[in-house]
Amino acid sequence: MRRLIVNADDFGAGRGINRGIVEAHRDGILTSASLMVEMPGSEEAAELAAGLPGLSLGLHAVLDKEDGAVPGDRERCRAELRRQLRRFAQLTGRPPTHLDSHHNVHRDLRLLPRFLELAAEHELPLREHSPARYLSDFYGQWDNGETHLESIGPVNLLRILAGIGPGVTELGCHPGYMEPDFRSSYAGEREVELRTLCDPAVRRALEELEIELTNFAHLEP
């Protein structure tokens, strides 16, 4: 059995991002999203998620120097993660279904123990440390910042799907619309991702490949 979680990062980043994520869920193959709790669209995102029972909703933790949660300061990292978890509960009225981080900073070996601690304490699947394998191939920029839209077109997504193995896989994505309340170096790529996720050919391919869509709420430990 092959099962696929399609998870959108940056939910709450802005109204256009929120609108794109909801569209990708309603009209496409998106099954899950990760919420940023201190962004201009965070409250709207939480309200939208309340009306989408099929969308699992996790915490997209943001740690940077402005938080004081720099990698070398373990106590500040721990405190900031717990503060964001409490803010998530305030916004949504429920715990997250999973845990990950903006720019995947939890991969930093100085930060990872704090994330693992929080995940274990609250029994949350942490990206790359859970039964769901993480796939980051669906992304429209290379490491040097050069845009490659072919990487997020339907042809490449179909190739990615064809290579998915048995078990549960998380496919990361960043769909959305760019609006003035959100600035990012990853901009027009988001709208291309959105169109691809909503392409009928992609859903047909999932059926032909016998890949079942699921979300983190149904992930078994």
What total number of domains does the chain contain? 1
First and final C-alpha spacing in the chain: 16
Digit-coded pLDDT (tens) for 26-67: 999 999 999 999 999 999 999 999 999 999 999 999 987 554
Averaged in consecutive runs of 10 residues, what is the pLDDT profile of the chain (221 residues)? Answer: 97 97 98 97 98 98 65 80 97 98 92 95 97 96 86 96 97 94 86 98 97 95 69
DSSP calls for 111-154 = THHHHHHHHHHHT-PBTTBSSSEEE----SB-TTS-B-GGGGSH
Q: What φ, ψ does residue 205 adopt, rounded to 5°? A: -65, -40
For residue 69, the enclosing domain spans: 2-218
Q: Residue 8: CB partners within 8 Å, gap ≥ 6?
A: 21, 24, 30, 32, 33, 34, 173, 174, 175, 176
What pLDDT is attached to residue 184?
Answer: 85
pLDDT computed for residue 142 by the predictor: 84
**pLDDT on residue 180:** 80
Domain CATH code at residue 132: 3.20.20.370
Residue 72 has what pLDDT? 59
Which pLDDT value is given to residue 182? 78
pLDDT score at 70: 55
pTM: 0.94
